[in-house]
Every structure is written in structure tokens, then in C-alpha cells.
Chain A
């Protein structure tokens, strides 16, 4: 760390300052602009000769040439420790609840964690033990989950535990351990540490390929396009196609220990929905309140643009902190396009050479570097932790041939393409089953896992469904070209088999308490039932009979989806379905 340098403002374009400095200044160093008693935070994004280009995380209204800027010697950092869960932060990790007033006045800040909050500490390491950064020294209980107190991530090399607090109740800022480095120097450790958000945390033994299902209760994902623990995926779609509803459903339902939602340049009312509903809703896996496992990073579209870029890194750094405790972290960012646009706004002001659509040339590298921070890891102590990351992408004009979508496609394994056409006809979730994919279906590790832990025929089911949908799609194209009676009857049957799968498996009402979430066992039962029907031949004579019969089936299967699993109503609709199938089959035998 350097002694702080200072500088003077020489130019201002929107939130970009040109600052003439003396003394050393680092790329990405944080600085404060002293304006009328306020100190406005900024970050160095380019240095050229004696001029530092600074993006200010606040309005620059009224700043004049000659204003003093103090550089603080650090990069943008997060504060890490117990008490992060349930908090609502802005993109720079200010605790929004701790800020006074209705409006976010310029220059106000609040601390991320309360140093005086007390925690019941229990040691995990032993005095005399050799440890290194990220090793577990002890744990406290945060919202009913174990929260590890670790050797600070910045510590380089090996240390010996010289002192470790006995079990007891301590302040977060109290010393809980003293570590001796290899040169014999002592280092005091508390429950709180800091870490620069843009540096990936790599304190693990190895990073295997993902292999376990991350259950979401969403049929189109779990059954057809599975996301895995530690996997990466993205959801592109035009506005109104259901990106946010899908992400919110995942955040409520996924089998994760910690869920971090980064609302990045989107609507404030959407985070308000989380603030309002999560404290009331139950985590379907633990029965505790959803808010207890959730952290929200809110940098909504009207908050400072530069902080929008910071917000996704803040979220990722917090995710890595919890992964290092051996937890399953789910990270969601809505929308990564807004982050890319923030980069574009700055690079335009810097007059950098623009790449495609005026985005910065290194956009692709930035995006893949970010997605690469997700993943499942084996820690040095043999425990596993994971970060699953799903981002939304908002392509201009809904056209997927644009830089953010294309770069993200390269960096991810799951692609959940939302289709305008499906959304228009209210076929929710509007995930296009033909275009979308999960490359994890091809991972032998997952194939093995699925057969053992999900259903022996899981992979076969997924392939068969996809095949029926594809054939249905082709049939539908032919019918559109040749007309209902210009094609063989078989085309109608193919079309309606696909429709049957679409309506009973793919479509799911996110606002219905029962239908919204389908546990994987129920999904497999439903899939087996529907596929069995799809394999049967029925004696149709006219194409209108085909649609009539399948529509009736669709109706009963939908009623089944609306009924609680194995309830009387569920069983009754199931029997009704089987009766309909039997009658129709018998009609065949009678012929």
C-alpha cells in the first residue's frame, strides 16, 4: 500500500473526471473527490501521463476544475464477516437500511457490517496448527447456518496459530486469533476482513467439473435443461419475456445455502418485491424464511452508473467468501447487459477505440473472466463449496446477434433463450425448448450422477422429450405450409404430442402456489406418465379428433399440476388421465 497521493480535477464529462495527480496512483485505485464538504467516491479506470481518469460513483453536479481529489491506496473492497446474510446493500456495499432519509443523498455512506454485533464463537482449529489463507479457524452461527471465521484471504504463505479464543460470545471486531508468520511476526485476526472485489479468490485445492443437479423446481430447467451446482448459465430475452420472473423463481426455489441477488441496473420495484416477500416466504428446503439465506445487492437503473459495474463484482466477492466456507452459493445477476452498457458509457467517454456496437474491445474477455469465477471447488480441507451463476442478458431489439449475448454464450454452459412468441401467447416460462440447451447433459459425471440420484431414466427422458418437441416443431411448420389436410394424419399426432409436453411439462405458472415449484420426484413421475402417453398409438380418423383428444388430456394434466402432490385431487386427475388413455386405446382394439 502506498501513502495517499492527491490530485486536482482538470476536466469533467458526465461522471468521468480527469485528475492531474502527484505521487503514485494505481489502476483501479479508489479516490475521493472533495466537493463542498462531501467526499464523493471514485475509481481510477485509466492513467495516461500525469492524468488519472476517474469514474465517480455519484453525481458530479457542481464539481469544478481545481477540486481536490485524494487517492486512498486501495482498490474497491468488500467487508466480509458474519452478518452479511439478509442485508440489502448497494453496489458499493453500503447497507441501505442504515442510510437515513427517503432519498439517497449524494456522498452518504454506511458500513457494511456492524463491528459491535455479538456472535457465539466456537474454535475449529487448534493452537500450534499450521494454517494458510482461507483455512477455517472457527465458526459462529449466522441465521441458523454455520459461518466460518477464516484466515484472512490476503495473508500470504503459512502461519502458526499462536492464540485462539475459547468458545464464547464476542464482538465481530474482537480479536479471536493471533497468527505467527514464518518470519515470527504476529498478526491479529478478527471476524471481519476485507478483500478487493475484482480479484478472484483462488484458495482451493482444485476445481472439478460440475456434476450435481441444482434443483430449482422449474420443470423446463430440471427436467430438460439442468443447471448444476457450480454451473454457469444465462437467460437472454427481449423485454417482457420473463427474465426477471424466472430469476426470482430460481432465487426462491433453488436448493442453495446462500443466494445472492445482484439487481444490476434494473427496476427498483423488482428489488422491493424481494424485500417485501422474502421475509414472509419459506425456504422450501429448510422451512426457514427465505430472507435468512439471501443477500441483495441493489444497484437499480437510476443509481450511479459506475456503481452498476462494481455491483456484480461486489456480489461475486461475497459469493466467493461463502463458497470458501464449503457452502452452496447461488448468484444471480439481472441484467449483465446493463453492466456491459455501463462499461460502454465509460469507454465512450474515454474515447477508447470502440468494438462492435460501441462496446469496449475487451468486453468478451471481461465477461468470460467474470463467469470463470463461478464453479464448484474442493477446499484444502477436502470440503466442497460452489458458486452457481446465472445472469440475464437484455439484447437490444431482442436480437441475439449482439456482443453481450455472443460473449456470454462463449462463457457459459446453459442457455435459456426466452422467446417473444412464447411470451406473447402466454406460454410461460417462455424458455424456447428448441433453442435452449444445457451442455451438462453431455458430461459423463452428470450422466452417472443423474442415473443414481435423480431417476434411472433421467437422461433418456430428457433426450426423448427434446426429440418429440423437435418433431412436433417440424410437423407444425409443414402444417403451416401445406394446411391441415395437406399433411398426413401422423403430422397432427406429432404436433399434438409436442403440445402435450409443452402444456403439461414445460409451461408452469410462476404465480400459482402449487404449480410454481415442482420437486424433482414429482417431475419424474409426471414425465414418465406423459411420455408413456406419447408413446401410445391411438386410432384417429380425422385430424380434428387428434386435437380434441389431446386438448382434453392437456386440461386434466394441467389440473393435476395445480393440485398438491399426491393429494386426493392429484390422484383423481391422474386416474382420469389414465381412463381417457385406456378408453381411447380400447377404441383401437375394438376396431
Chain B
């Protein structure tokens, strides 16, 4: 690194930032404050404000500030594969240093006219996903889950079943247990050669997390654009990323908007998620993220802004009636599913999917009636029986079927519980797939 300028008087220190007087400094440039990495976030006259990734605890007013004349970067190359790094892109697995060329992270946007419309279905075996919320390569989609749901496990299962060339994990505020879980899982499944991990754990400084998504996505762009590979990026937990954003922006006296998040939260998250793309030469970046919720509240600024950006969300919750974790069919959505369902899958898929969810909604109404102490009609009773079976056999995350089997399974349930008219499905499909039990 070419070292440029030293300054030894710090004017101002907050929990996440400090301000020095300096000249000739570039916006977003990296610096060392003492021995901690920092980045320029504001310049006013000679006052240069830096966000200190390692936190400012123990920084003295006379600590030396050295501007490095460069921006956050990652060395990219095939030697990234199979490795574990920290938020700065430095190995944490005792392996060799990287040797590839330095690439600035947080690079430019893909020209929308150079994107292809996503078209490759990603099968996971989980019917709550493949049947109701089908994933497509190039998509960006988070799991919305309360902290007590097994989101990391489900996400890892999806990653391992999806047939992709690379899996890149960006861990933010991971507990050490979760870190070891991912590590052992990847080793145990023998997929180490196709993973790359950037890890920030709960014992690392929170502001460091801000670098993780861009590190992971810079590696992903390298494999997807230069090697035409299909890359799956896992980002967990984006709620902790957003918390780190708010720490920095609040220290910079910005007016917070809803839930004390910065006013730029939407743009900040979109910049990351929009890196998902299907490239024209065959490579793709798919992002599956985790956004943890507080008591299922999706109106909080973090899940709310996320939902406006991502191409749907997979909402995990416990169905207490059948005692299983399910992909909630009401709150979940894959916005790209219509590009593949009924086209890459059997033609009846869209109608079967919608009919089942409508009937499941009828069951929810019946349950409300029951809770309010009203009598149920015979139809209500049937919807409830259907809902229990549907929850267990289709929505539960422990299901592992191919899509055709999921469709057949659903038709079995339709035929068992409902008449043709109650399904509201096109006649041509009813004629082919509906098979009432012989009376």
C-alpha cells in the first residue's frame, strides 16, 4: 500500500466515527486511525469524518491517522474458493494470502438492458418454496423469520440442494455457534471447493459488518461475470447489517426516519440486493438473505424496506396445530415464479397453487369462527381437515419432493376434500387431474 498522509490530532470522537483536519483526502477513501481501518464518510472544508470499522473505544485524540489513498477492495481469483475471510477480505482460516488483482468493492450497477430476464428454476425440494414460491436464478429473496426460527438451517438446506457452481456466505453478527455450524456443514457435505465465506461474528465490531455484503458480492460478480458461473449468495442477518447502518448515520447527526433507521435505508439496501442478476453470458447471481423480525412485525422499517426491494420473501413460522415450521403461504411471495411456473413446470401449477392458498384462507376464516365460539358449517370442517393435511404434507419445511409430486399430492388433497366447483380451476385441468374418491 502506498501510504500518503499522516495527521495526529483528532478533533472529535463518537462511538462509530471520528473527525480529523486534513487536506487532499478523497471521499470514501480508507485510512488507519491508530491501527484501525476507517473510511471517509464526510468532508466539510478541512474537517474529514471517518467511520472506524473496529469501533472507537480506546482511540486517543493524538492517535495517528494515515490516509491510504485507496478504497475498500478484495483480491479476486479462483483461489477465493474454499476459503474463509473476515470483513476486510483477510483469511481467517490460516490459509495462504490471496494473490489475485485488487478489485474495489461496491462497484457499478449492471446496465438494465444488459440483463437477461431470469429463466432458470431453482429446485429446493421444499414444497412451500417450489410449489408456492418458486425461486429463479438471478432472484433476490430473504427469509423473514423471528429469531427463534431455524432460518440458517433452512437457508443452508436450500443452498446445498440448489445446483449452483458457487455458494458465497456473508455472515453478519453470526454467533460463533452458527459460524461453526456453517463451517462444519460445508466440510461435512464435501462442498468446500465451491464455497467462499466472509464472516463477521458477534465478537467482531458491528461497523465492520457494513463491508460484508459488498465483499461477498464482489466475489460473486467475479465468478458470475468472468467465469459465467451460477453463484448463490447467502446474506445473514441483514437486520444486523441495517442496525450497523443506523449506528453510523446517527453518529453523523443525520435526521433518522422511521424506527431510527437512516433516511437512505431503501437506497442502501437496494444497492446490495440489486446485484442479483442473470447475465447474458450465462452467469448469474442469486441472493438469499435472512431478515430477522421482531415478533413477526413486517411493518418495521427493515423488513418493510426489504420487502419493497427484494423479489418476494419467504416467511417462516411455526404452525402450532401440526407442530411444524412452515413457509407461510399468505405472507410469502416469489415475484419471479410466474416466469417459470406452468412453463418449466406442469401447466396446472399456477392454478393449483392459487386454489390451494385460497382454500387455506377459507380454513383460516373457519378457525376464526371456531375461536369466536361459532358453529362450523360442513364446508368449514372440510377446509380445516384440508388445511391440516396441506400444512403437514406441503407447507412444512421438512418436505422433500419434486414439483410434479407436489402437484399430484395437492390434487389428492383437493379430490379428497372438495367438489370440482369449490376449486374454481379451469375445466381442462379438472378433467385431467381431479379424481374424487369412489363413493
Contact = CB atoms under 8 A, between A and B. Distances in A.
B115 A272 contact: yes
B257 interface: yes
Interface stretch (A10-18, A23-31, A167-175, A212-220): A10-18
Contacts of A301: 266-267, 270-271, 274, 309
A589 to B, nearest CB: 25
Interface stretch (B80-88, B201-209, B374-382, B405-413): B374-382
17 contacts: A10-B44, A62-B29, A63-B26, A104-B111, A268-B277, A269-B118, A272-B112, A272-B115, A276-B117, A300-B274, A305-B267, A396-B299, A397-B304, A398-B299, A425-B330, A558-B424, A559-B426
B108 A105 contact: yes
B109 A302 contact: yes
A554 interface: yes
Interface in B364-398: 368-369, 372-375, 377-379
A66 B22 CA distance: 12
B88 to A, nearest CB: 18
Contacts of B138: 269
B338 A511 contact: yes
A303 B270 CA distance: 9
A273 B110 contact: no
Contacts of B300: 397
Contacts of A483: 369, 372-375
Contacts of A302: 109, 270-271, 274-275
A503 B354 CA distance: 14
B143 interface: no
B296 to A, nearest CB: 13
Interface residues of B, number: 81
Contacts of A10: 44-45
Nearest to A427: B358
A218 B421 CA distance: 25
Contact of B307 (A88, A99, A240, A555): A240
A262 to B, nearest CB: 13
A255 to B, nearest CB: 25
Contact of B333 (A240, A267, A269, A394): A240
Contact of B254 (A61, A102, A348, A484): A348
A96 B299 contact: no
Nearest to A63: B27
Top 6 nearest A-B pairs (CB, nearest first) are A397-B299, A301-B270, A302-B274, A483-B374, A239-B307, A11-B44
Nearest to A96: B113
Nearest to B104: A61
Nearest to A425: B361
A41 interface: no
A65 B43 contact: yes
Given A60-B27, A396-B258, A397-B299, A65 B110 contact: no
Given A276-B117, A426-B354, A61 B271 contact: no
A300 B112 contact: yes
B293 to A, nearest CB: 13
Interface string B237-275: 000000000000000001111100001101100110011
Interface string A506-539: 0000010000000000000000000000000000
Given A61-B27, A302-B271, A396-B301, A268 B112 contact: yes
A96 B110 contact: no
Interface string B334-369: 011010000000000010001001100100000011
Given A484-B375, A484-B377, A345 B109 contact: no
B9 interface: no
Contacts of A426: 354, 357-358, 361
Contacts of A424: 330-331, 361
Interface of B: 23-29, 42-46, 71, 107-118, 138-139, 225, 254-258, 263-264, 266-267, 270-271, 274-275, 277, 279-280, 299-301, 304, 307-309, 311-313, 330-331, 333, 335-336, 338, 350, 354, 357-358, 361, 368-369, 372-375, 377-379, 420-424, 426-427
Contacts of B307: 238-240
A97 interface: yes
A425 B421 CA distance: 18
Contact of A555 (B263, B358, B424): B424
Contacts, number: 202
Nearest to A511: B338
B115 A341 contact: no
Nearest to B301: A396
A285 B29 CA distance: 55
Interface in A295-345: 298, 300-303, 305, 338, 341, 344-345
Nearest to A94: B111
A511 B351 CA distance: 11
A101 interface: yes
A566 interface: no
Given A65-B43, A272-B117, A348-B255, A106 B108 contact: yes
Contacts of A397: 258, 299-301, 304
Contacts of B108: 59, 103-106
Nearest to A59: B108
Contacts of B23: 65
B44 A18 contact: yes
A64 B422 contact: no
A338 B255 contact: no
Nearest to B331: A424
A358 B274 contact: no
Interface string A52-92: 00000001111111100000000000000000000010000
A269 B115 contact: yes
A511 B350 contact: yes
Contacts of B107: 103
Contact of B114 (A102, A265, A276): A102
Contact of B24 (A14, A64, A99, A562): A64
Nearest to A102: B114
Q: Which of A348, A349, A547, A554 has the most CB of B within 10 A?
A: A348
B143 to A, nearest CB: 15
A354 interface: yes
Nearest to B338: A511
Contacts of B311: 267, 269
Contact of B258 (A63, A271, A357, A503): A357
Nearest to A353: B255
A485 B264 CA distance: 53
A555 B421 contact: yes
Interface string A468-485: 000000000000100111
B263 A240 contact: no
A272 B116 contact: yes
B263 A551 contact: no
A275 interface: yes
